[in-house]
Amino acid sequence: MPVTRRQSGRLPPPIRRTLQVVSVIDADTTDGTESSVTDLEHEDEDESASDWDGGRVQRKQPEKKRAKVTSPNLKKSPKQKYVAALTILPTMSLDILFEIFCLLNPATLLNLARTSKAFRDTLMTRKAITVWKHAWVYNSDGAPACPPDMSEPRWANLLFGGTKCQECGASSIQKIDFALRRRVCSSCLKKNLVYSVSFPKRFPDFDTAILELIPHTNVGGWSHGHASASKFYWEADIYPMAQEFGQYQRNVHIHKPGAKDALKKFRESRMKFVEDVLEHAEVCNEWINNIYESCRQDAEARKCVRYDAIVRRFKDLGYEATDISDIKYLPQVNVDRELTSRTWARIQPQLEPHVQRTKQRRVARERAALLHERRKMVKQVYGSYKKTLVPMQWIYLPTLEEIYLMPDFADLINSATAEPLRVETCTGALRALPGYLTTRADRLRQEMLAMLPAENGKEEGEVLEFSSSETDPVFLAKSVFICTSASCKSNRVLISWSGVMSHDCLIASRTSYSYMSTYHVDPAFKGLEFGFSERGAAAVSALVSLLEPKRQLDEISSKDLDDLDPRFVCMNCPIAKARGVHGRLAMSWRQCVLHHVERKDETHVLSQWMILPKDDEQRLKRQEGGDPSYNSLHWSCNHCPTHLDNLQRRNAAIEHVKKMHAEAQPRENKDFFHVKPSQRTGPLPQGLAMGPGASKDFRCLICSKNSRTFIESGVKAHLKDKHQIITPVQNEHYSKS
């Protein structure tokens, strides 16, 4: 122990001798293990005796002088590295040492006691108890107070003495079970914990009443650190308690005076002790959770500092904050260590590809948003131009996607600048728009004429002038074309000029972003792709030949056939049950053309039709009801552009014409119109009774007073359902009138 002051109070004169520095770590503690620091040792030594014998500074005689021997072949031995030692502290008195120790916290005192045997001997004596108590009271930094049943060094060892298991020595055991006052690993928990339910089976000779006298935990060995409502006891705590409790019970059994009161007081004191232990454990758990949370927050703060430093370095390289945000949780960034130049040089090549990809996506999004806004401006300008036209001309105008590809507008949309598009910027493109539309219409007409057979009005090498007359070849009903685009989702059969010009083919693929949508038009798109349909022309020729009075094929237009609106039946189709009728479907002339173009099997090689008589035609038209397109939002007024961006249903368009334009009887294609006529499928075809037994000239003979007529299959069904005649016989159960 350190030498105390003499009775005289005078210190001895210093001895001028050479001092040899020795390790402050005793040879007994250099085996790599921590010295056992748990309870204070009881010593009755004289206070004047030295407590530092194990770490005393040893002195030796100075070496004798010798002649210097030089040898060129001899190498100098490496210098011994100077090891610092606490050479001054051992010379101090205990009073001064204890004053210094009182300034330390419990964790530092514990580490100091493990530094050398001398410090251990000093701090683990009963004379140092005031130092430990002072440390826990004034320097504990909010740590829970030492419980009364444990010594201060032992409590400090539990909290700050390392993360090794106190049973098996396993490392990295962070969790302390404060109810058991132990730091143990999960394997030791599984070996040593006793479940309260299994206590009678494991200890059949012990009274279960002792369990309420022993502290317990609610965290089992197999619970992975999660608490439950169960109770678990440390096996080593059971045996001494069973022995002590059994002694009290034996005293009661032998009728020892005061034994019952002693047992009662013992039970009450132990139950109070268990209650105090559990309450103290809750305080400790709250403290340790606060420590963990504080450490987590400190780690998060260090991570944020590291991330901010990385962001600053990337910004210096020309990137924006949005380009860098995606790397925040990468393992190279989400680390609670300071960013050094060496670390940055190592992780920059790993992080920069992520930042570059994010930047490319950002630039693409910004570019797409800019193009989207420019297309919106083109749409606005195009809409303003359409308002200057007669609304029915909208049918023959190109779609927005095609306008985007118009050279003048395409240059404005795809400009490399970052400036938004304005109305005044589109003035030049708007002036060029009428010429573009005229050129487009003329080009399509020339393409249509080039596809028509020579007998359709064009001789080899002849170029016909454009005429708005309905006798122009492109207006004739026999000018049937078909869309050949692979991406077409509309009706592919295009009849005459109106069908080609109003065809709304899908020419753009849609690309969605999180905050907006835009169109990406295929740069390879060159316009409408179509070809002449020989099957469609053959169907029209066969249909026109059935009209009465006779009409010339080269004179009848698609509008003429629409006005006539006859009904035809395909004679190539087999007789079958159609719309509840045994026969064939009656279709409009446009449906017949579409039917013949799509049916390419061997039964429809030739186009064979039957036109319906007027009475059957009128009857079936009444059965058809309204056109399904009447309820679609594709109708507009032809007197004003109010429905340009707000298309209505047919009835709403009619009411608008009546109310706003004073037309008592609005007519289709004059006062209002369908903006996408090529997509109209017409009314639902109805079944026409045909074939044997198809006419209603059969009567039931059982129902003598009933004049109802049936088709043959109908009267048989009637006899079966109403009269229970399974096999009806003609002229006995039914007859033909």
Task: For residue range 408-424, list pLDDT tens digits in order.
Answer: 999 999 999 999 999 99
Residue 656 has pLDDT above 90, yes or no: yes
Instruction: Identify whether residues 560 and 666 lie together within a single domain.
Output: yes
Residues 40-66: what's their mean pLDDT?
46
Neighbour count for residue 515 (Cβ, 10 Å): 7
Instruction: Identify whether residues 607 and 561 lie together within a single domain.
Output: yes
Q: What is the pLDDT of residue 551?
A: 87
Q: Tell me the average pLDDT of the chain.
A: 83
Q: What is the pLDDT of residue 582?
A: 80
Q: What is the pLDDT of residue 463?
A: 41
The span from the first CA to the last CA of the chain, in angstroms, equals 139
Instruction: Identify whether residues 627 and 507 lie together within a single domain.
Output: no
Task: State the Cα–Cα distance between residues 635 and 484, nearest whole angstrom.
Answer: 27
Residue 566, domain member (yes or no): yes
Residues 40-63: what's their mean pLDDT?
45
Residue 89 has pLDDT above 90, yes or no: no
Contact assessment for residue 328 and residue 307, using Cβ atoms and an 8 Å cutoff: yes
The domain of 328 spans 316-368
Contact assessment for residue 476 and residue 456, using Cβ atoms and an 8 Å cutoff: yes
Instruction: Identify whether residues 158 and 171 lie together within a single domain.
Output: no
Three-state DSSP state, 725 = coil
Instruction: Identify whether residues 171 and 158 lie together within a single domain.
Output: no
- Tokens for 218, please give them: 């609610």
Contact assessment for residue 587 and residue 568, using Cβ atoms and an 8 Å cutoff: yes
Instruction: Identify whether residues 665 and 543 lie together within a single domain.
Output: yes
Q: 25-39, 232-246, 523-537, 544-558 — which one is most confidently predicted on average?
A: 232-246
Residue 623, domain member (yes or no): yes
Q: Residues 57, 58, 59, 60: is their CA dihedral positive or negative?
A: negative
Instruction: Identify whether residues 589 and 651 lie together within a single domain.
Output: yes
Domains contained in the chain, number: 6
Residue 522, domain member (yes or no): yes
Q: What is the pLDDT of residue 80?
A: 60
Q: Give the pLDDT band of residue 369 (cuts 50, 70, 90).
A: very high
Contact assessment for residue 473 and residue 491, using Cβ atoms and an 8 Å cutoff: no
Contact assessment for residue 157 and residue 167, using Cβ atoms and an 8 Å cutoff: no
Q: Give the pLDDT band of residue 456 (cuts 50, 70, 90).
A: low
Q: Give the pLDDT band of residue 46 (cuts 50, 70, 90).
A: very low
Taking Cα atoms as reference points, which of 319, 280, 347 lies closest to residue 146?
280
Taking Cα atoms as reference points, which of 225, 216, 159 lies closest to residue 186?
225
Residues 499-524: what's their mean pLDDT?
55
H/E element, 588 = none
Instruction: Identify whether residues 550 and 663 lie together within a single domain.
Output: yes
Residue 480, domain member (yes or no): no
Higher confidence at residue 143 or residue 705?
143
Name every residue whose Cβ is closer than 8 Å to that of residue 413 and which is 6 or more positions away in sequence.
371, 374, 375, 378, 404, 421
Residue 483, domain member (yes or no): no
Domain edge (last residue) among 162, 195, 227? 162
* Alpha helices (runs of H) in 557-600, residue ranges in sequence order: 558-564, 589-598
Instruction: Identify whether residues 606 and 542 lie together within a single domain.
Output: yes
Q: Give the pLDDT band of residue 8 (cuts 50, 70, 90).
A: very low
Task: State the Cα–Cα distance between residues 238 and 245, nearest whole angstrom.
Answer: 10
Instruction: Identify whether residues 225 and 342 lie together within a single domain.
Output: no
Residues 230-246: what's their mean pLDDT?
94
Domain edge (last residue) among 351, 368, 385? 368
The 3-class secondary structure across 148-205, one letter per residue, is: CCCCHHHHHHHHHCCCCCCCCCCCCCCCCECCCCECCCHHHHHHHEEEHHHHHHHCCC
- Tokens for 112, please give them: 């100091």
Residue 9, domain member (yes or no): yes
Domain edge (last residue) among 272, 298, 324? 298
User: What would the DSSP string read from start to end of 407-442?
Assistant: HHHHHHHT-SS-PPP-TGGGHHHHHHHHHHHHHHHH
Neighbour count for residue 733 (Cβ, 10 Å): 17
Residue 706 has pLDDT above 90, yes or no: no
Percent of the chain surpassing pLDDT 90: 55
Residue 214, domain member (yes or no): yes
Q: What is the pLDDT of residue 48?
A: 36
Instruction: Identify whether residues 395 and 540 lie together within a single domain.
Output: no
Instruction: Identify whether residues 32 and 152 lie together within a single domain.
Output: yes
Task: State the Cα–Cα distance between residues 172 and 61, nearest whole angstrom.
Answer: 48
Q: 44-48, 260-264, 545-549 — which one is most confidently predicted on average?
A: 260-264
Residue 285 has pLDDT above 70, yes or no: yes
Residue 307, domain member (yes or no): no
How buried is residue 657: exposed, middle or buried, by Cβ count under 10 Å (0-12/13-18/19+)? buried
Q: Residue type at 23? A: S
Q: Which of 245-259, 566-580, 615-629, 695-709 has the lowest mean pLDDT?
A: 695-709
